[in-house]
Amino acid sequence: MAPDNSWSACQFTSDTVGALSVRIGGYVLDGDGAAEVAALTRAIGREPATAKVESAPHVQLLRDRAAGAARGTHVIGSEIFRGTVPPDGVNALLTVVQARAASRRPGLAKLKRMTGAPARVPAGDNAFPWHGASSMLQWLVDLPNADPASVADGYGWIESGHRAVAPWSSGRYVNYLEPGPTDPARYHGAHLERLRRLQAATDPNGLFRVPYAL
């Protein structure tokens, strides 16, 4: 179980010239960021190409995470991993990103830690079904030109990622909805029937109609 005052993510990226990169980022509240970087470097056993430690007020961190006016256009997908992803799963993920780089197209796969404070909330206490999971994977493709062909290409790559890591994926994150027919249980897990009962009781006429959202 990770400490409550820290959060981290590991990002694998391909770009339009075929380059691959790995980036690890995180936040530490009321802690020593430099010490965290040093500990991570020792655990990996290799010096990073670059490392940066900054200090900022809590509110600024929230604004940075929200992106604000800097948000761009992209297509997005997700996976939920209940347990630690084994080496075969990591290799499958990396193969998807490497294939994207070989085609000289942008793509990002970002593992986000879900342990720590979120894991202390019992799974049945709110609508979010994935409390207690180990990590979330975010698939993302930036689209400078959101034309139909680029959108289809981006979602095609994300679908290839779904297939590659399917043996280890338990579901998806409802805030990263994707188009196309998908079993709502992929987003809502074991909470689906309970959410449907609540929906029937509070919105019997179906005023709110959003695919997969309840």
Q: If residue 13 lies in a helix (H) or strand (E), which one and from where to where? A: strand 6-14
Domains of the chain: 6-202 (3.40.462.20)
User: Using one digit for the tens of pLDDT, what is the confidence trace for 39-95?
Assistant: 889 999 999 999 999 888 878 877 777 765 556 789 999 999 999 999 999 999 999
Cβ-count burial of 112 within 10 angstroms (0-12 exposed, 13-18 middle, 19+ buried)?
middle
Residue 212 has pLDDT above 70, yes or no: no
Residue 149 has pLDDT above 70, yes or no: yes
CA dihedral sign, ordered 171, 174, 175, 181 = positive
Poorest-pLDDT segment among 17-26, 119-128, 182-191, 204-213: 204-213
Please tell me the pTM assigned to this model.
Answer: 0.89
Going by C-beta distance under 8 Å and a sequence separation of 6 or more, which residues neighbour residue 146?
73
